[in-house]
Structure 1
Amino acid sequence: MTKAKNSASTSADPDESVNIEQAAAAPLPDRAPPQQIAVGVTPIEDLRRLRVVDAESGETIAKVQAADADAKTVTRLDVVDGNLVREGDAYRTITEDRAIRIEWTDAEDNGF
């Protein structure tokens, strides 16, 4: 019998161990990533597999709401000390002009 433990399946026989995350992970799409994405527009299945990266530093941009690699703009939620910033009854967003790349990823924390 196999039991799940901390995202890994284990058993008495180490040769029977199976990593649940590896088993559940689908291969990355074989198509180019989209050049424009937006929460509520881009299918959630795609958003889960995409990340927006600063083209100069290579760092993932967190809390992205919309991005356009062609226009070099990204809109993200404003975060201060780990908390989303409210502005009235909505969360504050920041729209920046910066060179970005939109990439496929198999990472769990892709910035959305």
Structure 2
Amino acid sequence: MLNNDEKIISSFTGKLEEILTLELNAGNRIRETYKGDWPYAGCIMLFLEKPFLTPIQRSIEGVVFRNVNDPHYWKAEYYDKTMNQFLCCGFGGVPDFSNM
């Protein structure tokens, strides 16, 4: 764990909190938390260690799912536009550059 701020974790709400709970129950872990002004002012972000382990939910009102797939950042993310919250997942280990 790099930086896990319990205040940030407890402020995570709504549909992304539900997805986070499912992910933690499936065996994923929070790797890091962030609160700041990137990419949007006042946003909070939670980063999971592994790729999402539960089925991707693409039709949640107000929530955008995106495959980022950038080893410099993260694999995928949910963004709740109303709550200004991100739930991001990592690659779960060393990135595989063999297919690039």
Same fold (TM over 0.5): no
What TM-score do the two structures reach when normalised by structure 1?
Answer: 0.25
| Largest Rg, 1 or 2 | 1
Question: Larger strand proportion, structure 1 or 2?
Answer: 1
TM-score of the aligned structures, taking structure 2 as reference length:
0.27
Please state which structure has a larger fraction of its residues in helix. 2
